[in-house]
Amino acid sequence: MKNSKTFSVSLLCFALVSIAQGAVNVLVSDSFNRTNNTDLNADTAGKSGSLGTVDWSEISHKGSPEVVSNLLQLGELSAAGGWSIAWMNHNFTDSEIYNSGEFTVSVDIINLGSTGGTRFSGFAVGNSLSDLSNWSANNPSVFTSDFFIGYDPTGTTEVKVFLGGTQDYHQTIDLGSEANLSVRFHSFSNFNAGTNVNYEASINDSIVKTGVFSWSGTNENYINLYSNYSLHTARFDDFEVSAVPEPSTYAFLFGACILGYALWRKGK
């Protein structure tokens, strides 16, 4: 009977750890639910997570990033060569990411309409701060970012992935007026240049592409949102960067659960 109870408790502990494994550690989340403002950092309403106080930085060419109607608005102000980017002023090489070798970036793209050619809205990872502060690219094919995923609503309506400016994925699809782009980056051992990173790209929670790329620089993982949609027709919502607890955490939880039961039994 005693062995049966111990086995039952072990199953319970295993179940609790399995539930914990499904949890994520939100590093930063921004719903942009704050007052309209061209200053993205006018207040911190809508931001949360362990890095929720980190400021946004932005740069644009013929554009003007701003919070409008509880959304982040990017894109060009006038035709021909306009673009806008916004990034969290933080290098995402945190111990939570480093120790687990995994993180996820997710964002909703709203108002998926534009005119002209080669119009993309999306996000990029694996940037140096210099990449962002000196940004001049208006086409993902010349991005220096290690990874970019974006949606082009003009003409053929397509989602593309670029790795260091080289196209790695193309799907013709109409995402309608709102869609979620999410990418899980995983199974990498460090942030050293040349280290392989696996990615799993999803559209509205459905996996559409898996692949692999390498970090181009050491400890360079700034993340930015990008758009060159015309006349501010691109808006972003619910941006999030999350990590997962490192494996040793699960072992600790399981051990703590079993130890707690043993001590409880001893005290009876």
Q: How many helices (H) and strands (E) does the chain have?
A: 4, 16
The confidence score (pLDDT) of residue 26 equals 97
Percent of the residues in the chain that have a pLDDT greater than 70, as a whole number: 79
What sign for the dihedral angle of Cα 17, 196, 183, 32? positive
Comparing 31 with 17, which gets the higher pLDDT? 31
The confidence score (pLDDT) of residue 246 equals 56
Long-range contacts of 6-13 (CB under 8 A, 24+ apart): 6/261, 9/257, 9/258, 9/261, 10/258, 12/257, 13/253, 13/254, 13/257, 13/258, 13/261
Residue 234 has phi, psi (to 5 degrees) of -100, 130
pLDDT for 2 beyond 80: no
Between vectors from CA 149 to CA 182 and to CA 74, what angle results, nearest 5°?
95
The confidence score (pLDDT) of residue 260 equals 55
Asked if 213 contacts 147 with a C-beta cutoff of 8 angstroms, the reply is yes
Express each pLDDT in 81-106 by its tens digit: 688 999 999 999 999 999 999 999 99
On average, the pLDDT of the chain sits at 85
Mean pLDDT of 21-35: 87
Express each pLDDT in 225-262 by its tens digit: 999 887 667 899 999 999 987 554 444 444 555 555 55
The confidence score (pLDDT) of residue 251 equals 45
Least confident of 13-27, 180-194, 246-260: 246-260
Closest CA to 56 of 79, 73, 69, 77: 73
Asked if 26 contacts 242 with a C-beta cutoff of 8 angstroms, the reply is yes
The confidence score (pLDDT) of residue 168 equals 98
pLDDT for 19 beyond 90: no
Domain boundaries, the chain: 25-245
The confidence score (pLDDT) of residue 27 equals 98
Model confidence at 14, in pLDDT bands (50, 70, 90)?
very low
pLDDT for 194 beyond 90: yes
Comparing 255 with 216, which gets the higher pLDDT? 216
Q: At 184, list the tokens.
A: 């899980």
Model confidence pTM above 0.85 = no
Question: CATH assignment of 25-245?
Answer: 2.60.120.560
Beta bridge partners of 37: 67
Q: At 116, list the tokens.
A: 């002209």
Model confidence at 15, in pLDDT bands (50, 70, 90)?
very low
Q: Distance between CA 85 and CA 120 in Å, rounded?
A: 12
Question: How far is it between the farthest Cα atoms of the chain?
Answer: 77
SS3 state at 267: helix
Mean pLDDT of 152-169: 92
Model confidence at 63, in pLDDT bands (50, 70, 90)?
confident
The two beta strands, 206-214 and 166-172, are unpaired
pLDDT for 47 beyond 90: yes
Number of Cβ within 10 Å of residue 97's Cβ equals 23
Mean pLDDT of 174-200: 97
Between vectors from CA 204 to CA 246 and to CA 112, what angle results, nearest 5°?
125
